[in-house]
Amino acid sequence: MKIDRREFLKKAGLGSIAVASLPTLANALAKPAWAQGGTNFTFLAVGRAGPAGTLAQPAHTMAMGGQGSFDPSKVGSQMEGGGPFNHWTAPAAAPPVPLIASGTWKARLLVSYKQIGTYGVAAAGILEMVVDIFRLVPSPATIRGATLKVVGNLGPAGFVNPGEIAGYTLSIPGTDFFTGGTPGPFRPIPPDGVGIALFTTVPLG
């Protein structure tokens, strides 16, 4: 069955700005940096910031994507990866919704990886890493030491990380989007998340 990505995002209540963000995200992910060994990851998802179980107003929303590779046995080591992001608030009276920030991120250190199962060439698990954020819009800025968690579930295989929604969680130090802050980190949108995340141990490319 063919899925129309525009209709998918509209039904998820994310509006036209999320649709507009996808070409940028797709272009940034067009040239994969797959490892010839170790584990690879890729994700493209939309998250929102706010207290658990609530929707903060205004609703801070971020479309974020990326890919990379790492060695699960080398916790604390450098890792490869990165991608783009767009941050806006919703709802709005009418599009276009002004961007709060837009730019890229780069993986720096592997914090942890827990794999719960494989299904074909895919794997389900949770990856945590330290990343640096490079804001390009509205003005250049760099934030070091943000924490990014990527959750990949494989429902068809019955591999679902307990209590976790597929997607990403991003905690940004020195901002309102830090753990313990208000509205707090960006998290997957309940109940099932909006987007995908996938791990694989099969060399590609």
* pLDDT for 98: 82
* pLDDT for 17: 37
pLDDT digits (tens, 9 = 90+) for 70-116: 999 999 999 999 999 999 987 666 788 889 999 999 999 999 999 99
| Residue 52 to residue 50: CA distance in whole angstroms | 6
Any domain includes 45: yes
pLDDT digits (tens, 9 = 90+) for 27-43: 444 444 444 558 999 99
Residue type, 17: I
Any domain includes 205: no
- The answer to whether residue 45 scores a pLDDT higher than 80 is yes
Percent residues over pLDDT 90 in the chain? 65
Split at pLDDT 50, 70, 90, the class of 2 is: very low
Any domain includes 162: yes
- The answer to whether residue 198 scores a pLDDT higher than 50 is yes
Q: Which domain holds residue 191?
A: 5-200
Q: Which residues contact 25 (CB under 8 A, 6 or more apart)?
A: 44, 63, 64, 65, 83, 84, 86
How many domains, the chain?
Answer: 1
Q: Could you tell me which residue, 157 or 52, shows the higher pLDDT?
A: 157
> 3-state class of 177 per DSSP?
coil
pTM of the model: 0.81
Any domain includes 118: yes
* pLDDT for 57: 63
* pLDDT for 19: 38
Buried/exposed 173-183: b ≥16 CB within 10 Å, e otherwise: eeeebbeeeeb
Q: Are 63 and 22 in contact (CB under 8 A)?
A: yes
Any domain includes 38: yes
Percent residues over pLDDT 70 in the chain? 76
Any domain includes 123: yes
